[in-house]
Structure 1
Amino acid sequence: MALKSTIYKAELQIADMDRHYYGDHALTIARHPSETDERMMVRVTAFALFAHERLEFCKGLSDTDEPDLWQKDLTGAIETWIEVGQPDERRISKASGRSNEVVVIAYGGKTSDIWWQGVRGKVERLSNVTVWSLGEGIAEALGRLAARTMRLQMTVQDHAAWLGSADADPVAIEWTVLKAPAQA
């Protein structure tokens, strides 16, 4: 018998001064049996950083045809495809062809560096792809915020972000842009 996903609930308050986005979100997050707290919380962080009324969690790990998050327009076309982790270049290329914008948020320190060197040559040719790498230890710090029921606050100001809860100090979210989309 296959293991089932574990359900997490989060009340997420977002104050993004850079994008002028302010909102409260009641999230239901299905954590795949093979997923770690760190990866799940990086997904929640990605949601907070790219929040939009149509952004939603997808099947991600349990479905190879869906990302971790996506935003679709009113016709069902994919506007933004967000991957968390270290997807291979074929997956990124496929996502690039299916959506207007692809965002990859890599984490894992040295392993992210090795992954990027392996996919960089092919991914850099894709004009609608953005790749970020989270700073060393951030995923682990985010993982410590994980609880079955969470009340989280995300603040974004001047290209800096913090995710926190009432039970823990906020985690400073630092990233490096490895690849930005091509300018039109």
Structure 2
Amino acid sequence: MAAGAVMYTFAVQLADVDRGIYDELSLRAARHPSETDAYMMTRVLAYCLEFDDGIVFGEGISATNEPAVLIRDLTGRITAWIEVGAPDAERLHYGSKLADRTTVYTHRDPAKVLAPWVGKRIHRSESIVLHSFDPGFVDGAVAALERRNTMTLSITERQLYLELNGVHLSSAVHDHPLE
């Protein structure tokens, strides 16, 4: 954990009906001083939405060789490169060459995130998808955020139903292909 980082814990009840995943997760997410609460909350949501065997949080916001979340197979090979926020095209290119699948989750305006990638060289860009949430969803979750969190997340037909520390929120997951 980086010096000055703040540790958040999440006791998560996950029900991903779309993928048939029902699990209880105990997550610890360190928020680096340069990381916003919205970024960290999006990172936690991405972890839950991508949950699978071998999933872990990356080394942190300053790590250049790992994404925010990644999935490794039993041999240690990266199978999913999961970025958060607004990574640059070079980082997506690198991740897409390294992993079988690359995706991005953002708490920002998706049009503004996509714009800098237009015309840039990104390996397998046709298979990369940017995921966003309804306006205000992540901000609502951030308002309910505490150091120790109880969270229930249900996903059905790409609709999220989130209960975080007694606050109920919902959002669609919007998919924006790069091409």
Cα displacement (A) at 1:124: 8.5
Q: Please give the secondary structure, in 2, of the residue aligned with 1:108.
A: coil
Residue by residue over 1:39-86, the C-alpha shift from the partner in whole angstroms, topping out at 9 and shown as x without a partner, is: 111111111111113211112302111111000000010011111100
User: What is aligned with 1:119?
Assistant: 117
State whether structure 2 residue 167 is matched by structure 1 residue 165: no
- The residue correspondences of 1:4-43 to structure 2 (distance < 5 A) are 4-43=4-43
User: What is aligned with 2:143?
Assistant: 144
Query: Contact 1:96–1:128 (CA<8 Å) still a contact in 2?
Result: no
Q: Which amino acid aligns with 1:126?
A: S
Q: Please give the secondary structure, in 2, of the residue aligned with 1:62.
A: coil
Of 138-147 and 93-102, more deviation after overlay is shown by: 138-147
User: What is aligned with 1:51?
Assistant: 51
Query: Contact 2:141–2:164 (CA<8 Å) still a contact in 1?
Result: no
User: What is aligned with 1:131?
Assistant: 130
Query: How many pairs were matched up?
Result: 177
Cα displacement (A) at 1:136: 1.6
Inter-partner Cα distance in structure 1 for 2:113 and 2:119: 11
Inter-partner Cα distance in structure 2 for 1:83 and 1:33: 19
Query: Contact 2:150–2:164 (CA<8 Å) still a contact in 1?
Result: yes
Cα displacement (A) at 1:31: 0.7
Inter-partner Cα distance in structure 2 for 1:120 and 1:176: 19
Residues 125/82 of structure 1: CA separation in 2 closer, same or farther (3 Å cut): closer
State whether structure 2 residue 94 is matched by structure 1 residue 94: yes
Query: Contact 2:42–2:106 (CA<8 Å) still a contact in 1?
Result: no
Q: Which amino acid aligns with 2:158?
A: H
Sequence identity (%): 29
TM-score by length of 2: 0.90
Query: Contact 1:16–1:22 (CA<8 Å) still a contact in 2?
Result: yes
Of 114-123 and 99-108, more deviation after overlay is shown by: 114-123
TM-score by length of 1: 0.88
Query: Alpha carbon RMSD of aligned pairs, Å?
Result: 1.9
User: Which stretches in structure 2 are left out of the alignment for 5+ residues?
Assistant: none
Residue by residue over 1:71-113, the C-alpha shift from the partner in whole angstroms, topping out at 9 and shown as x without a partner, is: 000001001111110001000000000100011112222xx31
Cα displacement (A) at 1:125: 5.1
Inter-partner Cα distance in structure 2 for 1:139 and 1:124: 29
Inter-partner Cα distance in structure 2 for 1:13 and 1:180: 32
Cα displacement (A) at 1:128: 3.7
Query: Contact 1:124–1:179 (CA<8 Å) still a contact in 2?
Result: no
Cα displacement (A) at 1:3: 4.2
User: What is aligned with 1:85?
Assistant: 85
User: Which stretches in structure 1 are left out of the alignment for 5+ residues?
Assistant: none
